[in-house]
Structure 1
């Protein structure tokens, strides 16, 4: 056990110890009583059956591919503006059917017959017209009329003409009068727009959605029942995906727990065994909500002070709301029987920032100052920009915390988010090198994950302003396990089985600690090489492929500048002893590479 400031953590927990730690510390106080009252099957079976019989582009969530070559330029242009294939969206009915994402157990469940009324709040800014309409149609079609009190559309000062008179006309012609449009007179951003929508809502429960979603069958009653039982519960659906390239509806069978690292990045953590969807649990405690789709009692939302109105545009708002829900007497529950699909955007043209200052860092510091107590220091030590950032007036939110007698952040970390300190240690363990990895041949480029997950190739992207403190996509570490890992993701560089071929691709795969073969890397300071493998002589290299720089692995050649790399920070003392105390294999043979004499190599 090691004390860090006033925080105790175990810095050497292995997988089996972690599981034991989780089981011993999992709180039993967050239990939901069995519903007391008349139950009802809310599912509209007739509508579900009718939808199954529909056919046409995209029906039942099937993908759509643009095959007409004459439309390719338009497809690309709309894609880049929206971050998804808007031309495909226009080929699909705004009223399309989706696959029933519910498990068989969820289909059999009944819910309380008496549930509160709902205001669904959709925020949009320059949204694609047909995609916004599909979001509205799905809510109207798959929500019980007796529960849907209103839909509030908040236009955050969009400039697109289609979102003005044409939108008003379509809503007036096709939808009931329960839809209300709020038009901001200046750009407020996501947080301000959500507050504007909440102030205009009159339902008992607020449901916040992004504007490019499709709700699934019987999505609402599972979210409302826990709130009916306990008004201080916030519920989140299981988030399915709508593919940004072809609009295929992708059902997510397994959930995930929300988390954060010490650079204020939202992370998804695996469920504990007892929380698996297949285990008959109807609700799963979630330390941090994803933030884009959730339901909360209007009274509880405002009792918590709503969102901190000092937060600007977007960023850190899901952490602020998550912390104060848990710390101030509430709970966040993921509800596997409720499915809502969301389009996670792909590549798109950069939009100008609505502010001339770093609003994201300011938002993060506001949340840290109000809610994170002594733990905020671990955020600040990772980014010097926090020290230079003015968090602004915190009086209102500090008063909310005092009025509600909220618990400490230490309580939250040890009772709700009890495994975060293990997965993301407040003090990073020593590493051989870390920071951005810059090409010395093409110095404008650095290794970048591009926000991708395992199974994708590592790529090159223009370097962050700081090589020592880069953003997460370019923050790498040559760890004590002698792997080259994305510092804030469980991703390690991997070349795979070695052959005699040239220009071998470099992949990102889940890190396997203690594995010194396909994920083994060494940094040769004399040649600035990133050397891969135990018994090979391969170096990372930059090549040009169709005019674009690519990262590959080739035989190390000292004269080849394309194989030279620079780390943001190098721990020379540790690198001097890189091959000392190397682990042994099953035959008790030292697995140090047979050729590692790079400091004297030609």
Structure 2
């Protein structure tokens, strides 16, 4: 595959130049793998036109795809515009049309689609561009404006997170992002990313880098999402001094402004007390979400991964198996279902509340875990998770955020 990017590519580009004598083609080659953000930034440096388009290699553009994007940029040079992506199946190349949607993310900085704001739909005009908190990597922008705000963070490794970093930076430093329904491209869905078998290490590292530069007092939400200790996590995020100077020079707004004005759907997670694996010190076993789908948490040997991620909120709610990033989602609360039932439950918090279950727990590190409503404790007996009269069993959660 690497060889195809050398001689074969040169031959192909030369044929394009012969077919299009008025179009200039420039190839930029690197001697080593530098990651997606660096590659795209080097392309930006080689560009000379008023507007630059950053595209994936695995796309096809529809006819007249560029004009609607250029129209938005012509009206406002600080707009970064994105087309709507239609999906192309990897195996049979069948095109599946997607509806226009905002480009969003969760606290781990994985990409996702979301609806536009309610105000957008009240206008009842599907041709209008919609504001988007982020961009999924394909974008068109005023070349000089993109340079003024720092192009892409070239300190990002491999792939992942650079699009969210750009989205936060554009919005907080004087620009905006729009998804333009009248512009369409077809995006081939890859069977896997070619960069490495598992993107998680690079993604985790890049997310921590974004957090340290841009997220202020909310930066630890990245640690929460990845179950990383706040201090001494041992992950090298690289030199961020220039990016911090860029933010200061551009006089960018705080991340709190971004949450309140650009992405209010993101849950600020600002009342968490502790997170990580919840271990019973008497039985040396951990809380685990158990079978999914299902509503039965279990005691299991501690391995401190996804199904055992717990989050303890100041309100007394204890989530098992993860915590949702968005306000429109519901978390799964540990419950004492009552009625002399000895089996604890794991239900969506709103559902549990409606059914009168006890979802609030009193807990102190190294002490018992007692339901506030029933006054019974979560304990482990014969390797089984049960709720019973408190016998003094002790629990310990991995990471403390605030003393409680």
Q: What is the TM-score when the length of structure 1 is the normalising length?
A: 0.47
Work out whether 1:487 is the aligned partner of 2:334. Answer: no
Q: Distance in 2 between matches of 1:483 and 1:240?
A: 36
Partner of 2:402: none
- Which moves more between the two structures, 192-201 or 170-179? 170-179
Q: Distance in 2 between matches of 1:412 and 1:234?
A: 16
Partner of 1:299: 144
Q: Distance in 1 between matches of 2:387 and 2:375?
A: 15
Work out whether 1:426 is the aligned partner of 2:270. Answer: yes
Structure 1 stretches lacking a partner, 5+ long:
1-125, 127-158, 437-445, 450-456, 459-465, 491-509, 534-568, 582-595
Q: Distance in 1 between matches of 2:161 and 2:96?
A: 27
Compute the displacement of 1:419 (Å): 3.1
Aligned residues: 334
Q: Helix, strand or coil for the counterpart of 1:179?
A: coil
Asked if 1 retains the 8 angstrom alpha-carbon contact of 2:54 and 2:139, the reply is yes
Partner of 2:10: 168
**1:560-587 deviation digits (Å, cap 9, x = unpaired):** xxxxxxxxx999625x568789xxxxxx
Partner of 1:542: none
Partner of 2:116: 271
Question: Which of residues 63, 78, 81 in structure 2 aligns to 1:232?
Answer: 78
Q: Distance in 2 between matches of 1:214 and 1:448?
A: 42
Q: Distance in 2 between matches of 1:434 and 1:376?
A: 21
The within-5 A match list for 1:184-203 is 184-203=30-49
Q: Distance in 2 between matches of 1:395 and 1:346?
A: 37
Partner of 1:364: 207
Partner of 2:187: 342
Compute the displacement of 1:202 (Å): 1.4
The alpha-carbon distance between structure 1 residues 362 and 486, as it changes in their structure 2 partners (threshold 3 A), is closer
Q: Distance in 2 between matches of 1:279 and 1:358?
A: 42
Partner of 1:505: none
Compute the displacement of 1:485 (Å): 6.2
Q: What is the TM-score when the length of structure 2 is the normalising length?
A: 0.67
Asked if 2 retains the 8 angstrom alpha-carbon contact of 1:483 and 1:521, the reply is no
Work out whether 1:312 is the aligned partner of 2:154. Answer: no
Asked if 2 retains the 8 angstrom alpha-carbon contact of 1:236 and 1:293, the reply is yes
Question: Which of residues 345, 369, 372 in structure 2 aligns to 1:573?
Answer: 369
The alpha-carbon distance between structure 1 residues 265 and 202, as it changes in their structure 2 partners (threshold 3 A), is same
Q: Distance in 1 between matches of 2:141 and 2:176?
A: 10
Asked if 1 retains the 8 angstrom alpha-carbon contact of 2:102 and 2:130, the reply is no
Asked if 1 retains the 8 angstrom alpha-carbon contact of 2:344 and 2:386, the reply is no
Q: Distance in 2 between matches of 1:301 and 1:521?
A: 50
Asked if 2 retains the 8 angstrom alpha-carbon contact of 1:254 and 1:277, the reply is no
Question: Which of residues 410, 413, 431 in structure 1 aligns to 2:259?
Answer: 413
Work out whether 1:243 is the aligned partner of 2:86. Answer: no
Compute the displacement of 1:230 (Å): 1.2
Q: Distance in 1 between matches of 2:217 and 2:334?
A: 37
Structure 2 stretches lacking a partner, 5+ long:
280-288, 295-301, 348-364, 377-384, 390-404
Q: Distance in 1 between matches of 2:201 and 2:241?
A: 21
The alpha-carbon distance between structure 1 residues 417 and 448, as it changes in their structure 2 partners (threshold 3 A), is farther
Work out whether 1:205 is the aligned partner of 2:51. Answer: yes
Partner of 2:282: none
Asked if 1 retains the 8 angstrom alpha-carbon contact of 2:220 and 2:230, the reply is no
Q: Distance in 1 between matches of 2:245 and 2:330?
A: 46
Partner of 1:442: none
Asked if 2 retains the 8 angstrom alpha-carbon contact of 1:191 and 1:317, the reply is yes
Partner of 2:245: 399
Q: Helix, strand or coil for the counterpart of 2:26?
A: strand
The within-5 A match list for 1:490-509 is none
Q: Helix, strand or coil for the counterpart of 1:246?
A: coil
Q: Distance in 2 between matches of 1:191 and 1:242?
A: 24
Compute the displacement of 1:359 (Å): 4.5
Compute the displacement of 1:237 (Å): 1.2
Q: Helix, strand or coil for the counterpart of 1:186?
A: coil
Tell me the C-alpha RMSD between the 2 structures: 4.5
Asked if 1 retains the 8 angstrom alpha-carbon contact of 2:277 and 2:308, the reply is no
Asked if 1 retains the 8 angstrom alpha-carbon contact of 2:55 and 2:139, the reply is yes
Q: Helix, strand or coil for the counterpart of 2:219?
A: helix
Larger radius of gyration: 1
Question: Which of residues 160, 173, 190 in structure 2 aligns to 1:328?
Answer: 173
Compute the displacement of 1:249 (Å): 0.6
